[in-house]
Amino acid sequence: MDEDFVEFVRRRGEHHLRTAVLLTGDWHTAEDLVQSCLSKLYRVWHRLDTASAPDAYLRRILVNTYRSWWRARWRREVPRADLPDPPGPGDLGEAGAMAEDVRRALARLPGRQRTALVLRYFEDLPETEVASLMGCSVGTVKTHTHRGLQAMRKLIPPGTAVNRAEAEGSGVR
């Protein structure tokens, strides 16, 4: 049992960590989220049918745990008069700069919009599965996705790598 779990984490852990980074907008919080979710998964691992991919089960744990953390944080959050400047992209190159622009914009979205976009476009899940994971209707997923994309277009300034790629027709939305 333990060897199967360790193998699963080695094989799929990095993918779920990237999903968590996009959900939370912060690498350290994402690591905490994945660690917490993996411990929850380990507790039920012996009951799972590991022949079928446990990815969906871990994805559901990620979304639900993130949602509960977000709700708890919202109640504890204290407004501040001044915000720290976000770190610059540094010398990331074109692809790295584009990824940084997208991560920054995602981090500024409301939690439900960010979750819908990450699950639809990063996890490449159908709207029905996203709705199931988020505990809402398909129409609500469509609304959050549409509003999230509109907000992303406004949040990513003109002249950035993402907008240049979109103008060149690379498929970036």
- Across 90-106, average pLDDT: 73
pLDDT of residue 37: 93
Ranges in the chain annotated CATH 1.10.10.10: 92-173
Triad 122, 124, 130: Cα angle to 5°: 100
Three-class secondary structure assignment of 35-96: HHHHHHHHHHHHHCCCCCCCHHHHHHHHHHHHHHHHHHHHHHCCCCCCCCCCCCCCCCHHHH
CATH 1.10.10.10 fits 92-173, yes or no: yes
pLDDT digits (tens, 9 = 90+) for 59-78: 999 998 988 876 555 445 55
71: closest CA among 28, 37, 112, 40? 112
Q: How far apart are CA 89 and CA 136, in angstroms?
A: 35
151: closest CA among 94, 95, 111, 96? 111
Here the tokens at position 17 are 């960590």
1-77 adopts what CATH topology? Rna Polymerase Sigma Factor; Chain: A (1.10.1740)
Ranges in the chain annotated CATH 1.10.1740.10: 1-77
For residue 86, name the pLDDT band (cuts at 50, 70, 90). Answer: low
pLDDT of residue 162: 53
pLDDT digits (tens, 9 = 90+) for 136-161: 999 999 999 999 999 998 988 776 65
